[in-house]
Amino acid sequence: AQTVTQSQPEMSVQEAETVTLSCTYDTSESNYYLFWYKQPPSRQMILVIRQEAYKQQNATENRFSVNFQKAAKSFSLKISDSQLGDTAMYFCAFISQGAQKLVFGQGTRLTINP
């Protein structure tokens, strides 16, 4: 069974700093997708960024980028120039291609301090 592990339960940085959230996963599949989801204090979960395993290029979305290391099964999220609105729970997630069930990590609570 696939598992997703986020080893940092909580992180805290100052506004404008860069922060990296870690995620590792375990799978025997070769085709899959990885995601970072953000859950702000308002509670509605939104997709931050997505990576297809077959793509070697790391995905980026504005200030958000990932470091995808397929051999190491690592998928970290980097937030550049962090903002107060980045304060949220961040969940790493995995799904095998064609599967229906997304597997989530335990989450990392990120606090951006002014």
Q: From CA 96, how far away is CA 28, in angstroms rounded?
A: 10
Task: Report the residue from 28, 41, 42, 71 that binds other proteins according to the rule CB under 8 A.
Answer: 42
Residue in 80, 88, 91 with CA at minimum distance from that of residue 12: 88
Does the protein bind other proteins through residue 84 (CB under 8 A)?
A: no
Considering only residues 1 to 40 of the shown chain, the ones binding other proteins according to CB under 8 A are: 4, 6, 9, 33, 35, 37
* Contact (Cβ atoms closer than 8 angstroms) between residue 48 and residue 88: no
Measure Cα distances from 110 to 19, 26, 59, 62 in Å: 9, 24, 21, 18
Task: Report the residue from 28, 41, 100, 114 that binds other proteins according to the rule CB under 8 A.
Answer: 100
Task: Report the residue from 21, 48, 91, 112 that binds other proteins according to the rule CB under 8 A.
Answer: 91
* Contact (Cβ atoms closer than 8 angstroms) between residue 93 and residue 39: no
- Pick the closer one to other proteins by CB: 46 or 114: 46
Does the protein bind other proteins through residue 41 (CB under 8 A)?
A: no
Site residues for other proteins per CB under 8 A? 4, 6, 9, 33, 35, 37, 42-47, 50, 91, 93-102, 104-107
